[in-house]
Each structure stands twice: as structure tokens, then as C-alpha cells.
Amino acid sequence: MRRHLLLVTSLVCLFSLLTVFAIAERKQNKWVTIFDGKTLDGWTPKIVGQKAGVDPYDTFRVEDGKIVVGYDKYEGTFDDRFGHLFYKMPYSNYRMRLEYRFLGEQVKGGPGWAWKNSGVMIHGQQASSMDIDQSFPVSIEVQLLGGGPEGDRPTGNLCTPGTNVVMNGKLHTQHCTNSTSPTFRGEEWVKLEIEVRGNKVVKHLINDVVVMEYSESQYDPNDKDAQKLILDDRLTLAAGTISLQSESHPCEFRNIELLVLD
């Protein structure tokens, strides 16, 4: 009798564990909205010159179900007041997708290179760990660009503030590298997807096409901001925050979703 009870108890425990794993697996295989379309709950701004969580210029706001990046409350000129909007949790293995577009005119005083320029930062440091005047978080940047009337200006590029990656089997230290995407010249919505496999592989997709791929994300030991984050000489960068960028040109984000892979 006792043996029978033990067997039943064991089976119940096993069934419970399998149920938990099954539920967890279903959750992992489901796209989850990380922007509710109504508020910035779960998101924290960090603007140059301000503490994390303080955005006196209302740079990041919600309008008509979109995260709007605007500069109408920037008195005077832009004055290098770059900003980032951080999601509340760090991630390592995931897919993220959203739509973005550029519109309107660049704010007065914005640098020339920042015209129709924004980005999604991955593997980033925490907003609270940034220096008050730090322009960009140590991270991997999926750079988003819009084009002018003529010339090529691809999007879904790679930039590396305080970081390096491995590309084509070699350490890649160039700060910004163009993708193979086409140029988008107007105010149309563009679909971005990022596939992140920890420290192994990162892929950028524009309108469902892979346009950039690299691996072995790591801190740059020569960067002063990265040096503060390196522990025991370990450079490997396998997880971190996600943030949306503000670089002086109005833009919008919508349909922001995440699929956790493990």
C-alpha cells in the first residue's frame, strides 16, 4: 500500500512538473506585446543631462497607439541631448519585432549624421548605470536610417558603442557597418526584426529579409564607458537591456513584440 502511494505521489509530481514545463514552453513560443499602446509602463527614459526616469522634454510619448519620439519641447537647439527609452527587463535569447518610420523635420542643432537616424539598442547596460552625461549606453545598436531623394542609405545597420563583434570570422572593430537592405526614402512604415542568440549569433531582418549577421558580441576594453562594466577581464556580452533611441529626428515605433527563445 505504501509503495502504491509513493508511486502515485511520484506520478502526480512528475505530471505537475511536465505541466509546468509545457506551460513554460507555450509561453516561450508566444509573441508578447511589450508596449501596450496606451502608456509607457515598463519603460524608462534616460536623457543626456538627466537622471534615469526623468524626461523633462517629453521626448518619448504615446500617441494613437505609437511611441512617438518628438522634440517640440526642446528649447533652443538639440545640444546633443541624446536619449534612450529602456524596457524594464534584460534578455539574452529572443526575437524582437516592431515597425518604425521617420517623419517631419530634424530638430534645430541636431548633428548632420543624425538626420533620419535612430536605433534599437540590444545587450545594453542598465539605464541607472549610465553616467548623467553619457550619450549612448554600452550596447549593440541596430541602426535605423531613412534615405534622401538620391543615393543609397541602408537601414538595419550595426553600430557598436563600447562594444565589438565578430564578423566573417574576424574581430570587427569598425563603429558602424552598413547592412544589405534597400533604402527607404519616404515616411512609410518599415518592419524590423532582431534575432538574438545570446553571445552566439545576432541577425537583423528588414521586411522579413536578413540584412546583417554577426556573432560573439563583447565589450571593447579600450572604451571608457565599457571599462566600468568589465568584471575580471571578461569581455563576453551575452545579455542586456533593450532600448529605443532618440537622436534628433522625429520618429515613431509601433507593434513592439518579443518572443523569448529560452
Asked if the model's pLDDT at residue 14 lies above 70, the reply is no
Inter-residue long-range contacts of 140-143, CB under 8 Å, 24+ positions, other chains counted: 140/165, 140/202, 140/217, 140/237, 141/245, 142/192, 142/194, 142/204, 143/117, 143/118, 143/119, 143/176
Each residue of 186-245: pLDDT tens digit? 999 999 999 999 999 999 999 999 999 999 999 999 999 999 999 999 999 999 999 999
Cell of 245: 533611441
Same domain, 200 and 144: yes
80 and 94 part of one domain: yes
Tell me, yes or no, whether 256 and 170 share the same domain.
yes
Q: Are residues 123 and 195 in the same domain?
A: yes
Q: Is residue 24 domain-shared with residue 79, that is, in the same domain?
A: no
Residues 3 and 55 in one domain: no
* Stretch among 9-23, 52-66, 95-109, 161-175 having the lowest mean pLDDT: 9-23
133 in the same domain as 155: yes
Residues 150 and 55 in one domain: yes
To the question of pTM greater than 0.85 for the whole model, the response is yes
Cβ-count burial of 228 within 10 angstroms (0-12 exposed, 13-18 middle, 19+ buried)? middle
Question: What is the structure's pLDDT at 20?
Answer: 36
73 and 185 housed in the same domain? yes
Same-domain status, 36 and 14: no
Q: What are phi and psi of 4, to 5 degrees?
A: -65, -45
- Domain of residue 188 covers 31-260
Please give the C-alpha separations between residue 124 and each of 42, 132, 206, in angstroms, as whole numbers: 16, 16, 21
CATH number at residue 117: 2.60.120.560
Using alpha carbons only, give the angle 255, 257, 259 rounded to the nearest 5 degrees.
Answer: 160
Residue 221 in 3-state DSSP?
coil
Q: Is the pLDDT of residue 27 over 70?
A: no
Domain count, the chain: 2
Residue 150 has pLDDT above 60, yes or no: yes
In terms of Cα–Cα distance, which of 224, 251, 253, 242 is closest to 110?
251
The helix or strand, by DSSP H or E, that contains position 176, with its residue range, turns out to be strand 176-177
Residue 138: its pLDDT value, please?
98
pLDDT band at 262 (very low <50, low <70, confident <90, very high): confident
- What confidence score (pLDDT) does residue 56 get? 97
For residue 83, report the phi and psi dihedrals to the nearest 5 degrees.
-140, 160
Do residues 45 and 14 both lie within one domain?
Answer: no
Same domain, 133 and 205: yes
